[in-house]
Chains A and B, each alone.
Chain A
């Protein structure tokens, strides 16, 4: 904006309603700031009552993530159409924020310019912002048309009780109004001066429309557009925290405050508490039980529906929709902490668990993490679900079908209720035909400790994974031992079902057993066990490996020499949630597969971090949720779409669930599921024969 062109009256130079414009503008600003501050303060009251949650460590990392995920909008392109629109509008916001400040300044002094935006830089910025405004306006139109005519299915949640579409249109309208008002403000000036051109496309277009109007009319329009723009801007500011567009304010802080703990970790029941068991009640049973950051998550949810779109529990028709957890909690927060009037006392509120969120929702989550992976503003769900479960567990409100495996874990150390004494039987006791894995007595040592965890230890089908691995370790000349009857369940599922005390008991037993043996490295075939041992406070000094990582190492080092499989079938890899998404290991299993000669490998559309849960997470291997479809069967369809006949996985839960899905969907003989270790054994045997 070049002040020299102005022939029309500057807003700051005019009286308004008998007041000098700067005074009027100041009054407007103060009013808006007061309203905005008031609303934010009201919103903040709840956050202040939330549970503690330390989020200010590793500032450098946080800033880097903020740049990449926040300003960089790195997760937006996962949904290309909406993502590109959002990136454009977001970039527009950043660019136009300077323009907004300038216009606020112009209310006080004619020809106001931000420091550094005078002269040539100012002219360049004027052009940039005008092009930006044009793009943003176009995006708003496209977004509105898309929402009205081509809305993606995810916009409507089948559990939603009301639509936020109206809010979306209001916001799109407000943004458009800002763009148009500024265009008219500038256009009126341009129309008077004749300075239109491609340098200022939107303003020039406005000027073109206004051409021929008398100067007086242009003056009035110029002034009106200015005041409308600034009024709309201030209204917009105050409207944000009462709408789903609160995220405009909270999302960048929310990204900055992201969870930096290891992927598969679960938050402790209460941050900073010395004795986790000391509290009167455990878990989250009312709004203030959530940590302040989790409450901020609720404010930040944009209702975009990507979490539920990715959620396997939603896809299979369970009660759960992660988005609705945020939406319903936010609604409850607004209801109980109203902008006007007193906070509703806890006893008069609807119950968070029961009235607002049904137990069925809470128990439907497999903790696969697909929702968190996709959320553009890094809202956390698994920790919240676990906190809600902790509350239910503490109240004794656990579905009977889940009580069985939990009770068995407590009594027998495994969810099947099998005898502890039999835990090492799969290894064959070092006899002829045994697995090659020794059962280590107290005080004994091995280079490699194989942590079996309950599934591989007891399930006859899954024992074959352990035996396959034993054979591979033997072939590679590794000295491998296991804990036998002294091992108990890793507690991974117990912890995620909210049974923190049981988890601690199991962890302590394992630590005792591990502490009485010497080993250099620990390996497990169960990503859940790996995740628990690494991230759930076991605090082991030794490296903890998943068998895919060890197999990749052995193949790369030439200690295992695979032969051609001689199989014409097409293979695909199913990423287990707790190997891939939660612990970031996508490469090792693929390195193993690519080391097998002649393997025809395809990727599913939902691979790597977008992998779709088999349905075995939490304790659902032992107790299925009520649902319309089975996750495992949906996964088979995805493999079929990719053209695969063999699904390779690297998790006993996945193996069992997908195999069961093959049976229940009548795909026997047409599809096969294998563990990575079993496939390597096949290939190795071919190698020997060939």
Chain B
């Protein structure tokens, strides 16, 4: 029977959202294949319970529970997945296109000798091939690529958030398989520790979601509403030059030709007119939403959606609704 393997990443409180997105994508692909089983692989220390939590979405769950796996290390996952794939021979392996996924998926594919399609935003299986849509050329074009679903199988990493998460299917849960973890998993790569970014020195060049504030904020005291909106959105705060000029935010937060270049997925511009110097620092074709009181502000010509209005009314309201939504 055709197998589809999903590598489930664990968050601090159970499986990461991406695990359910991968599950849904796997099911959709499986339908096109006919009879199939969807399996998950779970790694960590003390993850047995979390693995059981995944059971309703899958037919099999392979659990790698070992002290060596306490910190998710790409090379360790690669070693174990290579063994699992050699044994289970899945037709398709789905991995989240996270930083972690980017660390081990290519090496895993290289080792397993399977083709890999990265950062997919859509998948389709037909005519014995996997078709995927991916964003290329800095987001300016999409590519539809295909790869044969042959003996060696195939791998794909999926962009987090691009696939709807699967609702829990009704019926029987998965079979849980406790997998053995060999000693000395990664003798040639050792983890020395984890570094949290220095407080205050947020690197907005790496942020996926940015709440950018401009001169429209008027006073330093008003920045509070921006910070709490960003917190609600789990975004980082960026700004345009006037805000830095007034020393309300550090220069490391300034987007633009004189500041830093950012490449988020979503850019929420609040009270920013959108001067060319500022927009010159926004790259990678993000989704841009703008709030400005001036309907003629240039930001609206580059934004995807815009709201004309008073940011002092709109921002707190937006935060409230976002918090309601996130519970």
Q: Which A residues form the contact surface with B (CB < 8 A)?
A: 401, 404, 459, 622-624, 626, 630, 660, 663-664, 666
Chain B residues within an 8 Å CB radius of A624: 241, 257-258, 277
Chain B residues within an 8 Å CB radius of A630: 245
| CA of A622 to CA of B280, assembled, Å | 9
| CB within 8 Å for A622 and B275 given contacts A664-B215, A664-B242 | no
**Nearest CB of chain B from residue A555's CB, rounded to whole Å:** 32
- Apart from A459-B276, A624-B277, list 19 A-B contacts with CB within 8 A: A401-B257, A401-B258, A404-B257, A622-B257, A623-B257, A623-B258, A624-B241, A624-B257, A624-B258, A626-B251, A630-B245, A660-B277, A663-B215, A663-B273, A663-B275, A664-B215, A664-B241, A664-B245, A666-B215
| CA of A660 to CA of B258, assembled, Å | 14
Chain A residues within an 8 Å CB radius of B275: 660, 663
Chain B residues within an 8 Å CB radius of A622: 257, 280
| CA of A160 to CA of B251, assembled, Å | 27
**Nearest CB of chain B from residue A366's CB, rounded to whole Å:** 14
**Nearest CB of chain B from residue A189's CB, rounded to whole Å:** 69
With both beta carbons as reference points, the residue of chain A lying nearest to B251 in the complex is identified as: A626
Binary flags per residue of B190-228, CB closer than 8 Å to A gives 1, else 0: 000000000000000000000000010000000000000
With both beta carbons as reference points, the residue of chain B lying nearest to A624 in the complex is identified as: B258
Chain A residues within an 8 Å CB radius of B277: 624, 660
With both beta carbons as reference points, the residue of chain A lying nearest to B276 in the complex is identified as: A459
With both beta carbons as reference points, the residue of chain A lying nearest to B298 in the complex is identified as: A460
**Nearest CB of chain A from residue B101's CB, rounded to whole Å:** 29
With both beta carbons as reference points, the residue of chain A lying nearest to B240 in the complex is identified as: A664
| CA of A401 to CA of B277, assembled, Å | 12
- Across chains A and B, which 5 residue pairs bring their CB atoms closest together, nearest first? A624-B258, A664-B242, A623-B257, A622-B257, A623-B258
| CA of A459 to CA of B251, assembled, Å | 26
For this complex, 24 residue pairs linking A to B, each with C-beta atoms less than 8 Å apart, are A401-B257, A401-B258, A404-B257, A459-B276, A622-B257, A622-B280, A623-B257, A623-B258, A624-B241, A624-B257, A624-B258, A624-B277, A626-B251, A630-B245, A660-B275, A660-B277, A663-B215, A663-B273, A663-B275, A664-B215, A664-B241, A664-B242, A664-B245, A666-B215
Chain A residues within an 8 Å CB radius of B241: 624, 664
| CA of A401 to CA of B261, assembled, Å | 10
Q: Which B residues form the contact surface with A (CB < 8 A)?
A: 215, 241-242, 245, 251, 257-258, 273, 275-277, 280
| CA of A401 to CA of B259, assembled, Å | 8
Interface centre among B215, B241, B251, B277 (most CB of A within 10 A): B277
| CA of A630 to CA of B273, assembled, Å | 18
| CA of A579 to CA of B34, assembled, Å | 75
With both beta carbons as reference points, the residue of chain B lying nearest to A664 in the complex is identified as: B242
| CA of A587 to CA of B242, assembled, Å | 36
Chain A binding surface, main DSSP class: loop
Chain B residues within an 8 Å CB radius of A660: 275, 277
**Nearest CB of chain A from residue B115's CB, rounded to whole Å:** 33
Chain B residues within an 8 Å CB radius of A663: 215, 273, 275
| CA of A391 to CA of B242, assembled, Å | 33
Chain B residues within an 8 Å CB radius of A401: 257-258
**Nearest CB of chain A from residue B241's CB, rounded to whole Å:** 7
| CA of A626 to CA of B242, assembled, Å | 13
Chain B residues within an 8 Å CB radius of A623: 257-258
| CA of A663 to CA of B215, assembled, Å | 9
**Nearest CB of chain A from residue B261's CB, rounded to whole Å:** 8
| CA of A664 to CA of B245, assembled, Å | 10
**Nearest CB of chain A from residue B215's CB, rounded to whole Å:** 7
| CA of A630 to CA of B280, assembled, Å | 19
Chain A residues within an 8 Å CB radius of B273: 663
Chain A residues within an 8 Å CB radius of B251: 626
With both beta carbons as reference points, the residue of chain A lying nearest to B294 in the complex is identified as: A668
| CA of A609 to CA of B251, assembled, Å | 35
| CA of A459 to CA of B257, assembled, Å | 15
**Nearest CB of chain B from residue A624's CB, rounded to whole Å:** 4
| CA of A459 to CA of B258, assembled, Å | 18
| CA of A575 to CA of B28, assembled, Å | 67
| CA of A323 to CA of B145, assembled, Å | 62
Chain B residues within an 8 Å CB radius of A626: 251
| CA of A242 to CA of B242, assembled, Å | 47
| CA of A622 to CA of B259, assembled, Å | 11
**Nearest CB of chain A from residue B275's CB, rounded to whole Å:** 6
Chain B residues within an 8 Å CB radius of A664: 215, 241-242, 245
| CA of A666 to CA of B273, assembled, Å | 12
**Nearest CB of chain A from residue B86's CB, rounded to whole Å:** 45
| CA of A624 to CA of B275, assembled, Å | 14
| CA of A410 to CA of B215, assembled, Å | 34
With both beta carbons as reference points, the residue of chain A lying nearest to B242 in the complex is identified as: A664
**Nearest CB of chain B from residue A465's CB, rounded to whole Å:** 15
Chain A residues within an 8 Å CB radius of B280: 622
| CA of A666 to CA of B271, assembled, Å | 13
With both beta carbons as reference points, the residue of chain A lying nearest to B275 in the complex is identified as: A660
**Nearest CB of chain B from residue A616's CB, rounded to whole Å:** 11
Chain B residues within an 8 Å CB radius of A459: 276
| CA of A401 to CA of B276, assembled, Å | 15
| CA of A341 to CA of B166, assembled, Å | 84
**Nearest CB of chain A from residue B149's CB, rounded to whole Å:** 40
| CA of A663 to CA of B292, assembled, Å | 14
Chain A residues within an 8 Å CB radius of B215: 663-664, 666
**Nearest CB of chain A from residue B282's CB, rounded to whole Å:** 14
| CA of A623 to CA of B261, assembled, Å | 12
Chain B residues within an 8 Å CB radius of A666: 215
| CA of A626 to CA of B259, assembled, Å | 10
With both beta carbons as reference points, the residue of chain A lying nearest to B247 in the complex is identified as: A628
| CA of A666 to CA of B246, assembled, Å | 13
| CA of A664 to CA of B273, assembled, Å | 10
Interface centre among A623, A660, A664 (most CB of B within 10 A): A664
| CA of A663 to CA of B273, assembled, Å | 9
| CA of A660 to CA of B275, assembled, Å | 8
**Nearest CB of chain B from residue A234's CB, rounded to whole Å:** 56
**Nearest CB of chain A from residue B138's CB, rounded to whole Å:** 12
**Nearest CB of chain A from residue B272's CB, rounded to whole Å:** 11
**Nearest CB of chain B from residue A459's CB, rounded to whole Å:** 7
| CA of A543 to CA of B257, assembled, Å | 36
**Nearest CB of chain B from residue A83's CB, rounded to whole Å:** 36
Chain A residues within an 8 Å CB radius of B276: 459
**Nearest CB of chain B from residue A463's CB, rounded to whole Å:** 13
| CA of A630 to CA of B244, assembled, Å | 13
**Nearest CB of chain B from residue A138's CB, rounded to whole Å:** 48
**Nearest CB of chain A from residue B134's CB, rounded to whole Å:** 24
**Nearest CB of chain A from residue B304's CB, rounded to whole Å:** 19
**Nearest CB of chain A from residue B253's CB, rounded to whole Å:** 15
| CA of A623 to CA of B280, assembled, Å | 10
| CA of A663 to CA of B296, assembled, Å | 14
Chain A residues within an 8 Å CB radius of B245: 630, 664
| CA of A664 to CA of B275, assembled, Å | 10
Chain B residues within an 8 Å CB radius of A404: 257
| CA of A610 to CA of B251, assembled, Å | 33
Chain A residues within an 8 Å CB radius of B257: 401, 404, 622-624
**Nearest CB of chain A from residue B185's CB, rounded to whole Å:** 39
Chain A residues within an 8 Å CB radius of B242: 664
**Nearest CB of chain A from residue B263's CB, rounded to whole Å:** 14
| CA of A401 to CA of B241, assembled, Å | 15
With both beta carbons as reference points, the residue of chain A lying nearest to B261 in the complex is identified as: A404
With both beta carbons as reference points, the residue of chain B lying nearest to A459 in the complex is identified as: B276
| CA of A630 to CA of B242, assembled, Å | 11
| CA of A90 to CA of B215, assembled, Å | 53
With both beta carbons as reference points, the residue of chain A lying nearest to B218 in the complex is identified as: A666
**Nearest CB of chain B from residue A2's CB, rounded to whole Å:** 71
| CA of A481 to CA of B257, assembled, Å | 33
**Nearest CB of chain B from residue A408's CB, rounded to whole Å:** 11
With both beta carbons as reference points, the residue of chain B lying nearest to A628 in the complex is identified as: B245
**Nearest CB of chain A from residue B301's CB, rounded to whole Å:** 9
| CA of A663 to CA of B241, assembled, Å | 11
With both beta carbons as reference points, the residue of chain B lying nearest to A461 in the complex is identified as: B276
| CA of A498 to CA of B277, assembled, Å | 23
Interface centre among B215, B242, B257, B275 (most CB of A within 10 A): B257
